[in-house]
């Protein structure tokens, strides 16, 4: 027992050092600088969930600002950002090209997708309904009015154009996992869904066009600007995923 206590204290000090450097305790599960710390943080959440984490350790982690359910915290933060958008614009129709908050547009689209797939919990649907959230955005004209249905509209043949899979980055216990909806679910994502009553974690929706990511500062003699090209489909470069896992956001990017 004494050895476990010493080990816990050592890892807690490592977590405290991480917080001082990054400003939070959300250590990525696969953090390359200290993989042991990422695994330890995930284990604290698991032991707390099953009631095996000592209360004195729970108290210490709470005092440090430890996040016990990162997915719930992120969802709440995004809902808060949507409320601010609603207060400013009077609706929740965040455009996909919203320059002020592109992640919010991705999140809004993800909520529609999850409800359509039946994976959005009833309480979250209720919270969004309270903001007059629009679940269906298709079939509207430029003025925002629904197009009237008539016999001609109903009977007219519709040409279905196949869309390429949407690349999404799902946040699972501080780690982002890329999945486009085709093929078997990644193991970690499948386990998360199974343990959350079929609910998918928050995600970032990537655009369907090529992007150039930039890491570093080209104006600094210390840090050199590095550019990474992504064709608009397929896996992101490893360095981009590492940056995302360490910072919780994609690096600066553009077409």
Q: Map out the domains of the chain as residue ranges.
A: 2-68, 69-138+159-166+180-202
Rg (C-alpha) for the chain, rounded Å, is 21
If we measure between CA atoms, which residue out of 14, 5, 22, 58 comes closest to residue 39? Answer: 14
- The answer to whether 223 and 216 are in contact (CB under 8 A) is yes
- Cα distances from 54 to residues 26, 47, 49, 50, 229, in angstroms, run 20, 9, 12, 11, 47
Q: Which two tokens mark 243? A: 């940056």
If we measure between CA atoms, which residue out of 157, 179, 159, 160 comes closest to residue 168? Answer: 179
pLDDT digits (tens), the chain, 255 positions: 444 444 899 999 999 999 998 888 888 777 788 888 988 998 898 888 888 999 999 999 999 989 887 767 778 888 898 999 999 989 888 876 666 776 787 788 778 877 877 778 888 899 999 999 988 764 443 334 444 434 334 434 434 444 567 888 888 877 889 998 888 888 988 888 888 777 777 788 888 889 999 887 544 444 467 889 999 889 999 888 888 877 777 888 888
Torsion, Cα of 124, 125, 126, 130 (10° steps): 100
- pTM of the shown model: 0.45
Nearest-angstrom CA–CA distance, 252 and 234: 19
């Amino acid at each position: 027992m004494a050895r476990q206590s010493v080990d816990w204290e050592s890892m807690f000090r490592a977590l405290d050092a991480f917080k001082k450097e990054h400003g939070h305790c959300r250590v990525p599960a696969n953090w390359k600088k200290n993989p042991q710390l990422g695994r330890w943080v995930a284990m604290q959440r698991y032991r707390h969930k099953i009631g095996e984490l000592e209360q004195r350790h729970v108290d210490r982690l709470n005092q440090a600002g430890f996040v016990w359910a990162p997915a719930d915290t992120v969802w709440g933060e995004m809902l808060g950002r949507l409320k601010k958008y609603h207060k400013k614009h009077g609706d929740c129709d965040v455009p996909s090209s919203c320059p002020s908050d592109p992640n919010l547009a991705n999140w809004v689209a993800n909520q529609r997708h999850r409800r359509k797939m039946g994976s959005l919990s009833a309480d979250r649907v209720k919270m969004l309904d309270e903001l007059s959230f629009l679940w269906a955005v298709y079939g509207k004209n430029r003025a925002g009015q629904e197009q009237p249905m008539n016999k001609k509209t109903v009977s007219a043949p519709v040409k279905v154009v196949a869309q390429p899979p949407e690349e999404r980055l799902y946040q699972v216990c501080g780690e982002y996992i890329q999945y486009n909806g085709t093929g078997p679910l990644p193991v970690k994502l499948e386990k998360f869904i199974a343990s959350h009553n079929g609910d998918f974690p928050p995600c970032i929706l990537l655009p369907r066009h090529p992007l150039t990511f930039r890491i570093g500062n080209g104006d600094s003699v210390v840090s050199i600007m590095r550019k990474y090209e992504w064709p608009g489909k397929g896996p992101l470069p490893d360095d981009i995923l590492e940056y995302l896992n360490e910072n919780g956001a994609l690096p600066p990017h553009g077409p």
